[in-house]
Amino acid sequence: MNFYDALPTVNAVLNGTAALLLIWGLVLIKSRKIDAHRRVMIAAFSVSTAFLIGYLASHAHAGIVYFKGTGMMRAIYLTILWTHTPLAAAVPVLAIITLNRGLKARYDKHRAIAKWTWPIWMYVNVTGVIVYLMLYRSGYH
């Protein structure tokens, strides 16, 4: 296995890690642990940035990988992919704006956008792992 062959698995682990960090960050802010929340959300952003770099490298090397399943499995896969893809494109912009507002202590504006950013970011991370499992671990590759 070469470096590029390992990237899809590494990327899925990064997505899963980012999802866990998002959950932890939510728990921390609900507990009013602002400094810990800030550190965990910066970590989530960093992990997501590493994912994006790995994702782009993987696709630059391998190109498009097609799901070869049929029937209901294909319909499920495509439904997930069709919701995942546009939301994934929005996450970097939303995350940067949200993080920026939080770091600049513009908490009212941070909270307002975080209510949208968090669930979209979480959905993208979870469905990213599901897409990986369906594409690389289901036997339909």
**Domains of the chain by residue range:** 3-136
39-70 CB burial, b ≥16 within 10 A, e <16:
ebbeebbebbeebeebbeebeeeeeeeebebe
pLDDT above 70 (res 53): yes
Note the pLDDT tens digit of each residue in 3-23.
Answer: 888 999 999 999 999 999 999
For residue 141, the model assigns a pLDDT of 60
pLDDT in tens, 84-138: 999 999 999 999 999 999 999 999 999 999 999 999 999 999 999 999 999 998 8
| Nearest Cα to Cα of residue 62 among 125, 134, 131, 6 | 6
